[in-house]
Amino acid sequence: MLRHIVMFTLKDPANAPKVKALLDSCKDLVPGMHEFDVGIKTPGLEASADVVLVSTFVDAAALAAYQPHPHHQGVVAQIKDMASGRQVLDYLV
């Protein structure tokens, strides 16, 4: 299994629900996507990002199929306009 985590810092944190909805639309895009969860920063709790995506794929091939998927790429383009920063971590579980 491969865990794929992406954290976004937004130019305007008020856009977090829109970014979450965009990311949620990517759930189940490809076979081999095992888990897919999107979270928004909770007021009062520590956070260094506004939105986080935590997803798990059965293997690197499933993640490789997800990344260039046309719908995913459209979502990426929209989020790029709203994000001021992005951090990614992929690791084996």
Contact 20, 38 (CB under 8 A): yes
Query: For residues 18 and 34, what is the distance between their CA atoms, to the nearest angstrom?
Result: 23
Tell me the domains of the chain and their CATH numbers: 2-53+70-92 (3.30.70.100)
Stated as kind and residue range, the H or E segment containing 34 is strand 33-40
User: What does the pLDDT look like over 22-63, one tens digit per residue?
Assistant: 999 999 999 999 999 999 999 999 999 999 999 999 999 999
Q: What is the pLDDT of residue 51?
A: 98
Model confidence at 78, pLDDT cuts 50, 70, 90, reads very high
> In the chain, what percentage of residues exceed pLDDT 70?
100
Q: Which residues pair with 6 in a beta bridge?
A: 53, 88
Residue 80 carries which side chain, given as an amino acid letter? Answer: K
What is the predicted pLDDT for the residue at 6?
Answer: 98
CA distance 1 to 74: 26
